[in-house]
Each structure stands twice: as C-alpha cells, then as structure tokens.
C-alpha cells in the first residue's frame, strides 16, 4: 500500500508559492515547513509511512520548481531529488546535501505553534502557561550558550520539527543564496529529501545511483559545530518467553510465569550498560518495550556500540542469556536479532578529505568544528554503506523529539553558510 499521491497533491493546492521563494530567508522557510504534520510511523508498512510526508514532499517539489532547479524527481516512495547545475567549467566533484522529511513518532508534530523568543536573555521560558510547561536552563543548561540569540520554541504541546525541517530549510536557503550570487563558483549540486529517517528506514529506498553524487552530507546534527562521521553499530533484539498458565490455586511446580522469567532475564544484563549510565563511545543494551502475560512475554531491546567487535560481543551475550534461561526453563525462550546499521567510520576513513572540507567550511563561517561520535544513527550511515560517503553536519536544534525542542535562528543561518562554503571551497580546490 502507498499513500494516495493524487490526494496529497490536492491537499497542498491551497498552499501557493506566489511569494518569491528564492528570497525567503531560512527562518521564513522553517516556520512554513513546521506546519506540515510529518511524523513517521513504524507500524504502517508503507513508504512513506505517513501521508503527511508525501504532502510535504509535493510542496517542496513545487518550491524547487519555482526556484528553477533541474532534474527534479519525486518518486512514489516520497524521495525528492533536484539539481543546481554547475556555474563553472572546472571539473568539480558532484556534492550532495540530504535531510529528512519526517519528524519523530515520540511526540505529536501536528498543529505545531512555533514562537520566536527574540534576544534571549537567560532564565526560563514559559512555553505554556496554562499547562505550566517551562523550558529552563536548570534542566537544559545548553540554553545559556544562546544568550542574545533568537530562539524558536514550541508551545509545549508538540515537538518543533527542527529535526529535520531545519536541515531542509538550510539546504534550500543555501541553494537560493548561490542562485542569487552567481559570482560564487560551484560545481553541480544535488539535494535530496527522504522520508522515514526517524524509524530507521530513510535510506532503504534511496537510489544512490540516481542521486549521482560523489559524496554527500546529511544536515541532521544538533548544536552548531557538530561534525560526525562515527555512529553506533545497531541491532534490535526481540526475546519471546513462553510461559505456562495454571490456576494459581493449584500452580505449584506447574506454572511458568513468563513475566517473572522475563524479569529474571532483564536482571542478568549488566545494570550499568544502559543509555542512562553511558556516554561518549560507551555502548549499551536498551530495553525499549515489554508486553506480557503469564502465558507469553516479549522483550524488545536495541543494542548499540561504536566498536564492531564489542557490538558483536553484545549480540552474543544476548544469545548466551537466552540459552542460560532455557537451561532453567527448557524451550521457553527464543530470540530474533536484526542488524540495523553499522558505524560509517570505516567508509569515511578512506575519504577523509570530505571531513577536512567540512571543517574548513565551518572555520570560514566562524565556527570551531566539534568532531564527535553520534550516539545514534543517521541516514548517512546507511548511505555510506550503499556507496555514498555521507558524514553528518549540524542543523542547529536542541532537545529533539520532545516538547522542549528549540532552534536558534543564528544556528540555522550558520548551517546555511556552511553549505555555501562547502560548495565554494570544493570548486576553488579544483
């Protein structure tokens, strides 16, 4: 099944592009984009997983057409691609910039009501007085890094959507800037916006050959300066525990309570190797779901580690504990482990010049690069293994996936500048 593309086209007809979109600044674009409800959904088994993503893609396609971009394609799965042609005769590698259409399923992205806090002066920001929702530096001390800047916040009832609509706004605004400044030489630039990154499927149907870039960057990081080419190796594990239900009055030596067995399994994993006790390069086991009765209980884990050997060891440990459980409760426990993505570092290391290029682009924008591992994954990780080396650059937001999300306008402007600088520097180096 697919979302109805014709219906999506009709739904965006009322959103006109009569204003001159190539002169819109990054803030105006972002504020328009967050009006689209694009939460992804892992349960639909469709691509894109929700109709709002296709509606947003169609809107963006219309915007790119109005800007005069070339080779614009939007396929039935919601993958939108376009080209800004080179304005130089030099042989310049084709570079790509990528961002995702969807927002996280963790919190509603419908009826987002953004508000600009101009010239933030420190202290708490009341997001919603009625519901007493407050964004405070006591809980989020990073806010104090943005004193004097203009913060876009939510009303506390939804996420904001800077992850990754800020990235989309930055890429399109950078392209518009290059169009408005033909004196800046650049090679062929490819851009792409894809669905379903937040449910780990953003790169699954991404046509790398059609995209045709030598390398790319996802604009999907957090605070200013982030530059990432290491991410977790990732797997999911689903443990199913079969019990035996007997009337509790006559259950002695007969009942096997799968919930109790599941609790025993949980306790066998290292207590401190969980997300709430780890940082940096430290991996973890994360219990993300439990559903049970006496008769049957399922445990859903994600397994993460930057080091491939430790990652494989963690998977073996899960399998070992399943065998150990079956020694006490014969045949009750099974596990299904599925690899999700791998650390892109091994694909980036042979082409480290693309990291040096991004670092130089940041420094020329007055930003000191902060190279750090991603404690998660991006589309770039999967794309790197599909043949498109694709590190991750900051989009500027903070507190993604929840009601306390915000993005400084100045951070989005810096991200746009970095994109422009990459294109300029790449052409100048040839």
Mean pLDDT for 402-425 is: 98
CATH of 233-340, one of 3.30.70.870, 3.40.50.300, 3.90.550.10, 3.30.70.360: 3.30.70.360
| Confidence category of residue 16, pLDDT binned at 50, 70, 90 | very low
pLDDT value at 11 more than 60: no
Mean pLDDT for 271-295 is: 96
pLDDT value at 427 more than 60: yes
pLDDT for 52-107, tens place per residue? Answer: 999 999 999 999 999 999 999 999 999 999 999 999 999 999 999 999 999 999 89
- Map out the domains of the chain as residue ranges: 5-230+344-428, 233-340
pLDDT value at 1 more than 60: no
Q: How much of the chain exceeds pLDDT 90, in percent?
A: 91
| Confidence category of residue 23, pLDDT binned at 50, 70, 90 | low
pLDDT for 343-353, tens place per residue? Answer: 999 999 999 99
Residue 7 is predicted with a pLDDT of: 53
Under 8 Å between Cβ of 78 and 86: no
Q: Is the pTM of this model over 0.85?
A: yes
| Confidence category of residue 197, pLDDT binned at 50, 70, 90 | very high
Residue 378 is predicted with a pLDDT of: 83
pLDDT value at 426 more than 60: yes
| Confidence category of residue 278, pLDDT binned at 50, 70, 90 | very high
Selecting among 37, 55, 63, 102, the annotated active-site residue is: 102
DSSP bridge pairs for 267: none
- Catalytic annotation on 131? no
- Catalytic annotation on 102? yes
Residue 24 is predicted with a pLDDT of: 75
Selecting among 37, 197, 220, 398, the annotated active-site residue is: 197
pLDDT value at 316 more than 80: yes
Query: What is the domain class of 5-230+344-428 according to CATH?
Result: alpha beta
Q: Which residue has the higher pLDDT, 12 or 33?
A: 33
């Amino acid at each position: 099944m697919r979302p109805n593309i014709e219906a999506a086209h009709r739904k965006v007809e009322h959103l006109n592009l009569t204003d001159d979109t190539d002169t819109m600044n990054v803030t105006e674009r972002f504020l328009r984009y967050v009006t689209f409800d694009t939460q992804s959904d892992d349960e639909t088994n469709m691509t894109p997983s929700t109709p709002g993503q296709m509606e947003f893609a169609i809107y963006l396609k219309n915007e790119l057409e109005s800007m005069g971009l070339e080779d614009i394609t939007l396929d039935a799965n919601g993958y939108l691609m376009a080209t800004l042609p080179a304005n130089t005769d030099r042989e310049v590698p084709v570079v790509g910039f990528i961002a995702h259409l969807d927002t996280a399923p963790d919190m509603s992205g419908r009826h987002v009501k953004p508000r600009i806090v101009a010239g933030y002066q420190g202290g708490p920001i009341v997001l919603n007085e009625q519901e007493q929702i407050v964004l405070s530096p006591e809980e989020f001390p990073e806010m104090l890094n943005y004193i004097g800047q203009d913060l876009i916040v939510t009303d506390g009832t939804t996420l904001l959507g800077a992850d990754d609509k800020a990235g989309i706004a930055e890429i399109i605004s950078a392209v518009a800037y290059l169009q408005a400044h033909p004196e800046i030489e650049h090679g062929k630039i490819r851009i792409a916006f894809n669905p379903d990154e937040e449910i780990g499927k953003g790169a699954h149907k991404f046509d790398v050959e059609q995209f045709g870039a030598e390398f790319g960057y996802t604009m999907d990081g957090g605070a200013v300066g982030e530059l990432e080419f290491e991410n977790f190796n990732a797997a999911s594990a689903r443990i199913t525990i079969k019990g035996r239900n007997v009337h509790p009055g006559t259950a002695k030596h007969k009942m096997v309570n799968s919930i109790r067995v599941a609790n025993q399994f949980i306790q066998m994993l290292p207590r401190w190797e969980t997300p709430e006790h780890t940082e940096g390069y430290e991996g973890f086991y994360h219990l993300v779901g439990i559903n049970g009765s006496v008769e049957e209980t399922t445990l859903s884990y994600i397994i993460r580690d930057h080091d491939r050997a430790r990652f494989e060891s963690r998977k073996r440990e899960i399998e070992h504990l399943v065998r150990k459980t079956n020694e006490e409760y014969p045949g009750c426990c099974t596990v299904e482990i599925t690899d999700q993505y791998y650390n892109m570092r091994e694909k980036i290391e042979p082409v480290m010049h693309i990291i040096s290029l991004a670092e130089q682009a940041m420094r020329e924008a007055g930003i000191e690069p902060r190279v750090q591992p991603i404690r998660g994954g991006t589309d770039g990780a999967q794309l790197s293994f599909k043949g498109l080396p694709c590190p991750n650059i900051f989009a500027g937001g903070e507190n993604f996936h929840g009601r306390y999300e915000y993005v400084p306008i100045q951070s989005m402007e810096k991200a746009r500048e970095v994109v422009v600088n990459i294109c300029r520097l790449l052409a100048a180096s040839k």
